[in-house]
Structure 1
């Protein structure tokens, strides 16, 4: 691991020094081995020469002298070889040093260039380099820098235009927002005026309607009711139902509607009695079936009246002439189930029938808000509402949670 770490962190300069040391050591070892081998060859040759010539002891001294002469010649030869080796090493070292210096110079130029490249857009001059390979690299680098420079200029220009566009858009949005604030304030004033007008109108409508109904009751107590008076009474009750709807819509977000225990059958019968005259004039009649007596639900009376009254008036309005509106009240588990159905035109779009202002039959009078109001109350009070419409009967069903269940 230490050797691997050493080679990962070594510099070119250090690598050159270590390379020269290794070359020098190899040269010394090579020369030493060469000289040693030459000396061994010399001694072996001398011995073989003496044996071959069968020299006697008298000529030993002469042989020794000749050996010394040859030895000196050998030493001179070895010194010449060593000297020549070191000369060749010096020449090679010098050439290596020159090329290494050129390589180091080119490398340092690259290092300086990349060091300053982040802050300097200038290209690199290939004429300052020695090696052709580096010059080719510089050509590719300069091409890359030109592309980067063009992209930076493009981004800078785009950023300038973008800032201008953002400022322009911001100014436009600010102006639009100011106009919206003014329009909202104006609309709020108009809406508030409409609410005040509607509240005042509803309040003022209650008195004459009450007077009309009271007067009809007093007149009937003294005189016999005729058909024209019945029509007046039915129309007044229809107006009263519309008044109650509008009154609830205006007040529902501002008035608390407390709940109380309501005997639902008595309440339902009272509302059927109230609209009996209206049903008779529309040539329909109610048929009420129930075995549900003395049971209570915990509900708000105003909301319950809106559900029942709008269901009754809707049935009277759309039931075919001389048909019966079947009304039933029964227990289904923990629920009091109220059903009201009659023969009428089939409702094709049962999903939209509870939308505000939606009416499938455009020829019928009305605002189209009654069933939407009923639906909103049922959602608020967790009343399960269902609608079934076919060629035989259209039935609205409501399930109210009973008290004590």
Structure 2
């Protein structure tokens, strides 16, 4: 709401006097103007009576009449101006007296409100001139009496409450002390847990790399059997979990710079990594690398978390013997990466990206992967689309092309 401008009493007083003065001048001007018109009309009448051909005696008489009329006009003008000035002075004097009395009463009320804020102060009705203000004095004094009574009651209540507040304060201080001790203990446990997790993640990388390298060296000299394939698939699953944990541990301490990535080749590389895992789950991938090079400007670690979690979830929930369709297409300035397959319909699509949520409770995992995917997509402006029915479940991610 627009704030209205306000003026002081002195300003209002000045404007009122100015307006009265203007009206007085206008009134005097109108009377003088009418007097002048009478003077003009009288001269014309005198001239018409005398006729056009005037002798010397008539001409002299005309000039004397004109001179007398002019004297009367000046005299009337001075009289009108004097009368207007006297009327203005009288009105101004009366206004000043009333204004003085009004301001005096207002000053009494202003002093009352100023003093009442700090102590019980009552008004003396005999100091007030206007009857209406004397009625207000009665109301004001009643208000002071009521406030004084309320203050006395509150003082008694406060006196009784002080002891109770002191007791409560002591109890709260003791409770707060215990809470601080518990908080410090919890922070120590949480800090120890973070250190343990960082240490575990760091130390897990080396044996996993050794296992994978050993499997690759072994398969170069010996054929891969079923048991070795299971071991390799399990290690790759652990590697994916390790990468998730590593990202979660480091995401608040490490900056992830962006670079230009050939999206088609990158998806092909990640599918090859999980091909043995898919084979052990009796599913397969259907993916054709696009002929045109589709590039995005993205961080490779974050992109791996999106792609790997989408692939591992597809492998986990796709029905045995089915094919996982992987598509990468350009739509205008966007690139859509989608992965779809036949699986049980998702009952609550809105919850699949929540932490610890799993559609099937007997499935392995903590339900943190898709939450991580959603957080990364929110940070990087990637749109997520999910659809699911009895025939097909599809996850689609819309990326901006490089330069967009």
TM-score band w.r.t. shorter chain: 0.5 to 0.7
Match for residue 197 of structure 2? 198
Could you tell me which residue of structure 2 aligns to residue 229 of structure 1? 228
For the structure 1 residues 7 and 224, does the alpha-carbon distance in structure 2 shift closer, same or farther, using more than 3 Å as the test?
A: closer
How do 1:14-25 residues align onto structure 2 when only pairs under 5 Å count? none
8 Å contact from structure 1 (residues 290, 330) kept in 2:
no
- The equivalent of 1:82 in structure 2 is none
Which shows bigger deviation, 172-181 or 281-290? 172-181
SS in 2 for 1:235: helix
Q: Give the 3-state SS of the residue equivalent to 1:356 in structure 2.
A: coil
* Unmatched segments (≥5 aa) in structure 1: 11-116, 121-142
RMSD over equivalenced CA pairs, Å: 2.9
Q: 1:264–1:297: 8 Å Cα contact kept in structure 2?
A: yes
Indicate conservation of the 8 Å contact 2:264/2:290, yes or no: no
With 392-401 and 166-175 compared, the bigger mean Cα shift is at: 166-175
Query: 1: CA distance between counterparts of 2:143 and 2:258?
Result: 80
Aligned to 2:392: 393
User: Normalised by the size of structure 1, how large is the TM-score?
Assistant: 0.63
Q: What's 2:260 paired with?
A: 261
State the alpha-carbon separation in 1 of the partners of residues 327 and 172 from structure 2: 59
CA change 1:265–1:275 in 2 (3 A) is same
For the residue of structure 1 that corresponds to 2:351, the secondary structure is: coil
CA pair 6-336 structure 1, distance change in 2 beyond 3 A: closer
Structure 1 runs (4+) greater than 4 angstroms displaced: 1-10, 143-152
TM-score when normalising by structure 2:
0.63
Rounded to whole Å, the distance in 1 between the matches of 2:191 and 2:176 is 22
Instruction: State the secondary structure of the residue aligned to 1:392.
Output: coil
Flag the 1:267–1:3 CA change in 2: closer, same or farther, 3 A. same
User: Could you give the per-residue CA deviations for residues 94-126 of structure 1, whole angstroms, max 9, x where no partner exists?
Assistant: xxxxxxxxxxxxxxxxxxxxxxx9479xxxxxx
Residue in 2 aligned with 1:349? 348
SS at match of 2:278: helix
Partner of 2:369: 370
Cα shift at 1:311: 0.4
Alignment of 1:1-400 (within 5 A): 118=120, 151-291=150-290, 293-400=292-399
1:324, 1:209 → 2: CA distance? Answer: 29
Long gaps (5+) in structure 2: 1-90, 103-118, 123-141
User: How far, CA to CA, are the matches of 2:143 and 2:354 in structure 1?
Assistant: 65
Count, aligned residues: 280
Do the aligned residues in 2 keep the contact of 1:330 with 1:336 (CA within 8 Å)? yes
d(CA) in 2 for partners of 1:7, 1:272: 94
Contact 2:121 2:144 in 1 (8 A): no
1:36 aligned partner = none
Kindly state the Cα deviation for residue 176 of structure 1 after the two structures are TM-superposed. 3.6
> Match of 1:351, SS?
helix
Task: Classify 1:199/1:147 alpha carbon distance in 2 versus 1 (closer, same or farther; 3 Å).
Answer: closer
SS in 1 for 2:350: coil
Shift of 1:274: 0.5
